[in-house]
Amino acid sequence: MNTSASHSQEAADARTVDQAIGMIHSRLHREAIHALREVTERTPTKYQRIEAEDDGLNIRFWDQEEFLAYVAYHRGRPTEQSIRWIPAAYPRAWFFLGFIYVHLRESTRALDALNRGLALEPDQPRLLCEKGQVLATLRDFSSALELYRRAETGRPETSPLQRAMALRGQGFQLIELGDLEAAEECFNRSLELDPKSELARDELKYIAHLRSGGSAAPAAQTVTLPGQGTLCTVCGQPVQDGRMMELQGRPQFVCTRCAARNN
C-alpha cells in the first residue's frame, strides 16, 4: 500500500475509533470492542509516529491537545519543520480497548491491549498512564510509579494536562508506598500545570490527614477518561478527573465531588 493510500485507510480507521468512543460514552461496550477490534486487525507491521518527507513531517496525533502541544514546544526551534497532521488510529484503538477492559476489570486483556499500543508508541503518555492504572489495581505500585514517571518525562512535547495527570498518578503510588513527602511534591507540581484539579487538592488534604494520624482509606486511582465529553454518572456534569466506583452493583465513572459524597 502506498503512503497516500495508507494515510487514507488510517484516517477512515481513526473515524471508526471516534465512533467507538461515542459507544463507550453510551456504555455500549460490546459494540465498541467489536469496532475497535476491526481497526486493530489492520494494525501495520511497521508503524512510525513521525515520517519525514521533503516538504516536512507527517505526524500521527491523537487529538488537538497533542497537536498544539507539539507545535508549541517546537515553535522557533532550529529544527522546526512544517507539519502535516495524520489522524492516529491504531495506538488509539489499542488504548480504548485497554480502557474498556480496565472498566470491565479484565486486567489481563487490558494489559495485552495496552502493551500492543505501547509497541507502536512506546512513549505515549496516555498508554503509559493507563497501564499504570492497571498495575496499581493489581497493587504493583512500584511498577505503576515507574510508568507514570515515564509518562511525565518520556516525550518533551507532552501537554501540561497530560503531565499533570502523570504526576497525580505518581502521587497515588507514592501514598501507597508510604512516601508522603514525595507524593505531596507530585500533587503540588501537578497543580502548577493544572490549577483546576480538585482531585490533587483532595489528595493533599488526605496526605495532611495521614500525617495527623488519620486512618488510611482504600486505594483510589485516577481514571483516564476517554475524551472531553465524559459525564459523571451521578450528577451528569462533564468529568476530567474521576474515580471508578461501585454504584448499584456496577463500576461507574464518578466525578471527584460525587465520589466524596458516596464514600
Segment 59-99, tens digit of pLDDT: 999 999 999 999 899 887 776 678 889 999 999 999 999 99
Q: What mean pLDDT is predicted for residues 20-43?
A: 94
Q: Pick the closest to residue 162 from 127, 113, 204 (CA basis).
A: 127
Q: Which of 65-69, 143-147, 225-229, 252-256 has the highest mean pLDDT?
A: 143-147
Report the percentage of the chain scoring pLDDT > 90.
62
Q: Residue 220: is its pLDDT beyond 70? A: no
Binning pLDDT at 50, 70 and 90, where does residue 249 land? very low
Q: Provide the 10 A C-beta neighbour count for residue 153.
A: 13
Supply the pTM of this predicted model: 0.81
Q: C-alpha cell of 64?
A: 488537538
Bigger pLDDT: 229 vs 23: 23
Report the percentage of the chain scoring pLDDT > 70.
79
Beta-carbon contacts of residue 262 (< 8 Å; ≥ 6 apart):
234, 245, 247, 254
Instruction: Look at residue 201 in the predicted model and tell me its pLDDT.
Output: 93
Whole-angstrom distance, CA of residue 254 vs CA of residue 260? 10
Q: Residue 5: is its pLDDT beyond 80? A: no
Q: Residue 188 to residues 160, 197, 216, 222, 241: CA-CA distances in angstroms?
A: 14, 11, 20, 16, 16
Binning pLDDT at 50, 70 and 90, where does residue 228 land? very low
Instruction: Look at residue 255 in the predicted model and tell me its pLDDT.
Output: 61
Beta-carbon contacts of residue 70 (< 8 Å; ≥ 6 apart):
59, 61, 83, 157
Helix axis angle, 90-103 relative to 107-120, nearest 10°? Answer: 160
| Cα pseudo-dihedral 13, 17, 18, 23, rounded to 10 | 140
Q: Residue 26: is its pLDDT beyond 60? A: yes
Whole-angstrom distance, CA of residue 258 vs CA of residue 215? 21
Instruction: Look at residue 250 in the predicted model and tell me its pLDDT.
Output: 38
What is the three-class DSSP state of 7?
Answer: helix
Instruction: Look at residue 256 in the predicted model and tell me its pLDDT.
Output: 58
Binning pLDDT at 50, 70 and 90, where does residue 1 land? low
Q: What mean pLDDT is predicted for residues 93-122?
A: 95
What is the three-class DSSP state of 127?
Answer: helix
What is the three-class DSSP state of 112?
Answer: helix
